[in-house]
Amino acid sequence: MKRIVPVLLLAAGLLAPAVGFADDGVTPGQFTANNVWMMLAAGLVFIMHLGFATLESGLTRAKNTTNILFKNTFIVSIGILTYALCGFNLMYPGEFNGILGFAGLGLGAGYEPGANTVAYADGGYTYWTDFLFQAMFAATAATIVSGAVAERIKLSSFMIFSTIFVGLVYTIAGSWKWGGGWLDGMGFYDFAGSTLVHSVGGWGALAGVLLLGPRLGKYGKDGRITPIPGSNMPLAAMGVFLLWLGWFGFNGGSVLSADPAAVSFVLVTTCLAASAGCMIAIAVSWRFAGKPDLSMALNGILAGLVGITAGADTVGITSAVLIGGVAGGIVVFSVMFFDHIKIDDPVGAISVHLVCGIWGTLAVGIFSTNPAHSFVTQLIGVGAYGAFTFTSAFIIFGVIKLVMGLRVSEEEEIEGLDLSEHGMHAYDLAAGAGWLEQQTASGARVGAVPATQLATSEN
């Protein structure tokens, strides 16, 4: 996924019409087809936010659902905005020293000649499509953190962290590979973001969880683990299916064109890995966690998807199945392991995105059909991203913790963040009023009575 400086393409593009063809032999029709697919892919990646929102809501308690949804809503919005302000140009700085570069504030480059023509990216997409597709990725990385820190992080602290994380950490790290930086120069490979998106999110999640501590009552003395079951399995399952659907765009769009062979192949490896991940997770959870656990099966699907994301285009079919299957097994053990060492992750985000993201990245070094890819280079990449991202996230969370605190109070956590942070339930919104108040409200009819209260008073 190497990005060439727009200026070079512009020059080529301006000359191309003289030859009678568009850039690289891409006809206007193909350019449109490519761009349409890329825009659709951007929309599919957006659907992943639906997936995260529903999955996280399903696997956490109902008293925190409004808070979870609020965080997810916030992240996608701040993600797109910061990406427009500075993120895109931090991640794709053009010519730079390979470690840190900046192509300027804002999206002004989109208005330059050639930015929205076939000259921009080998006829794959326009500047605007490029921005939006990548912006969706950025927001995805940030939202991974929200699941791990759920049910006890202070809202304002989280908002500050995720703004800095998606605005600066994700983007600078991303420039090292997709922006043409030093890791790209070394031959490190990450097709659609097992490292750049998923492990980055996972490292941030790990840093947060370590500084935050577990939820109240989760771990007891003598190693006792108290399960805190989710509130809504249908939402969790729907969430995972939405994420899988989103992955059609996440991986399919990372081809950066509508190339029939490449995109169709990538979609197949992606779906095979997801399926294999599910099956192995089922088998492993049945054998080692006692029963066929639905939430584990769902995590298995995600693990397979994360695992294949680094090499969906460069591994063979059997390899895709293997990679996904291994990820499915890893994730079950990882979830139980983190609980064992008292790292509380309500949705398994660290296991799915960090651990399987690392696996997927290393798997490229093992299974890739491209001889230029090596295990050692992949390992170096994993280490570099780990060092930078974890350290940055730890520092940001750490400073926030010192300055304003990271966690809600015990009473707030017990009462539920919906009430303490938002003053609003997610379900049965009128329930907070109590049935006595509802009766009085319906009797007095002073001012407008909310529809929910009206319905109850008529019983």
Nearer to another protein, 293 or 313 (CB): 293
Tell me which of 85, 336, 366, 449 binds another protein, using CB under 8 A.
336
Residue 122 CB: number of other CB atoms within 10 A? 20
Amino acid (one-letter) located at 406: L
Token pair 């969790």: residue: 236
Please state, in angstroms and rounded to a whole number, the distance separating the CA atoms of residues 43 and 133: 8
Tell me which of 163, 231, 269, 295 binds another protein, using CB under 8 A.
295
Residue 221 as a binder of another protein (CB under 8 A): the answer is no
Nearer to another protein, 77 or 226 (CB): 226
Residue 324 as a binder of another protein (CB under 8 A): the answer is no
Q: Which of residues 228-267 bind another protein (CB under 8 A)?
A: 228-229
Q: Check if the beta carbon of residue 84 is closer than 8 Å to that of residue 92.
A: no
Nearer to another protein, 41 or 347 (CB): 347
Question: Six-digit token pair at 93?
Answer: 């700085």
145-167 exposure pattern, b = at least 16 Cβ within 10 A, e = fewer? bbbbbbbbbbbebbebbbbbbbb
Nearer to another protein, 155 or 336 (CB): 336
Residue 283 as a binder of another protein (CB under 8 A): the answer is no
Nearer to another protein, 225 or 454 (CB): 225
Please state, in angstroms and rounded to a whole number, the distance separating the CA atoms of residues 203 and 148: 11
Tell me which of 156, 226, 369, 370 binds another protein, using CB under 8 A.
226
Nearer to another protein, 165 or 219 (CB): 219
Tell me which of 220, 234, 261, 291 binds another protein, using CB under 8 A.
291
User: How many residues in the shown chain lie near another protein by CB under 8 A?
Assistant: 18
Q: What angle do CA 120, 122, 126 make, to 5 degrees?
A: 40
- What is the smallest separation between the CB atom of 299 and another protein, expressed in angstroms? 9
Question: Six-digit token pair at 423?
Answer: 């003053």
Tell me which of 122, 130, 151, 339 binds another protein, using CB under 8 A.
339
Each residue 114-143 as x (binds another protein by CB under 8 A) or -, in order, gives ------------------------------
Query: CA dihedral defined by 300, 304, 309, 312, rounded to 10 degrees?
Result: -160
DSSP 278: H
Residue 374 CB: number of other CB atoms within 10 A? 18
- What is the smallest separation between the CB atom of 202 and another protein, expressed in angstroms? 18
Residue 429 as a binder of another protein (CB under 8 A): the answer is no
- What is the smallest separation between the CB atom of 293 and another protein, expressed in angstroms? 6
Q: Which of residues 342-371 bind another protein (CB under 8 A)?
A: 348
Considering only the C-alpha atoms of the chain, give the largest distance between any 2 of them, rounded to a whole number of Å: 81
Q: Quick one: which of 204, 199, 202 has its CA closest to 382?
A: 199
Nearer to another protein, 293 or 421 (CB): 293
Phi first, then psi, for residue 272 (nearest 5°) are: -65, -45
Residue 220 as a binder of another protein (CB under 8 A): the answer is no
Residue 56 as a binder of another protein (CB under 8 A): the answer is no
Residue 3: how many CA atoms within 13 Å on its side-chain side?
28
Q: Which of residues 90-119 bind another protein (CB under 8 A)?
A: none
Residue 290 as a binder of another protein (CB under 8 A): the answer is yes
Tell me which of 57, 285, 314, 368 binds another protein, using CB under 8 A.
285
Alpha carbon 157 to its chain's center: 19
- Residue 407, beta-bridge partner list: 153
- Contact residues: another protein, CB under 8 A: 225-229, 285, 288-291, 293, 295-296, 332, 335-336, 339, 348
